[in-house]
């Protein structure tokens, strides 16, 4: 099985006829809007923990983005359980459903990719 990297984190959704779904078109429009808000601080919640990082759903926008592990600080994070992650050195933990402030780092609407970083300098 091939390992997925950050470029594969949010695949383009297509319907049975090969066209983009209305949900994908909506997400694309939202991401195009967000492109003008690079650097803004937004509220979100952790909805998944993957091998690449934390998947965050932005409040009131209902799109997801990724915080890569390298952007969580200088710690090595390990899975504490299926729904939580813990830093070995700092003990800092993240869990599904946790609310957090994030900064919009980059947006690629056509790839449906949204990259976030924690708003705290030392999360």
- List of domains in the chain: 41-118 (2.40.50.140)
Instruction: Summarize pLDDT for 7-22 with one digit per residue, the tens.
Output: 444 443 444 445 555 6
3-class SS string, the chain: CCCCCHHHCCCCCECCCCCECHHHHHHHHHHHHHHCCCCCEEEEEEEEECCCEEEEEECCCCCEEEEEHHHHCCCCEEEEECCEEEECCCCCEEECCCEEEEEEEEEEHHHCEEEEEECCCCC
Instruction: Summarize pLDDT for 44-88 with one digit per residue, the tens.
Output: 999 999 988 999 999 988 888 999 999 998 889 988 888 999 999
Q: What is the pTM of this model?
A: 0.73
Task: Measure Cα distances from 32 to 26, 36, 71, 85, 92 in Å.
Answer: 10, 7, 23, 31, 33
3-class SS string, 46-64: EEEECCCEEEEEECCCCCE
Output the pLDDT for position 11: 42
CB-based contact 59:116 (threshold 8 Å): no
Kindly state the tokens that stand for 85: 């992650």
């Amino acid at each position: 099985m091939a390992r997925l990297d950050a470029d594969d984190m949010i695949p383009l959704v297509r319907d049975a006829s090969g066209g983009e779904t209305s949900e994908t078109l909506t997400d694309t429009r939202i991401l195009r809007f967000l492109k003008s808000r690079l650097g803004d601080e937004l509220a979100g919640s952790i909805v998944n923990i993957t091998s690449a990082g934390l998947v965050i759903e932005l409040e009131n926008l209902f799109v997801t983005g990724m915080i890569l592990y390298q952007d969580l600080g200088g710690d090595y994070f390990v899975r504490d359980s299926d729904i939580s992650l813990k830093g070995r050195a700092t003990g800092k933990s993240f869990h599904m459903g946790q609310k957090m402030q994030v900064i919009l780092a980059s947006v690629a609407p056509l790839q449906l990719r949204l990259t976030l970083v924690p708003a705290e300098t030392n999360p």
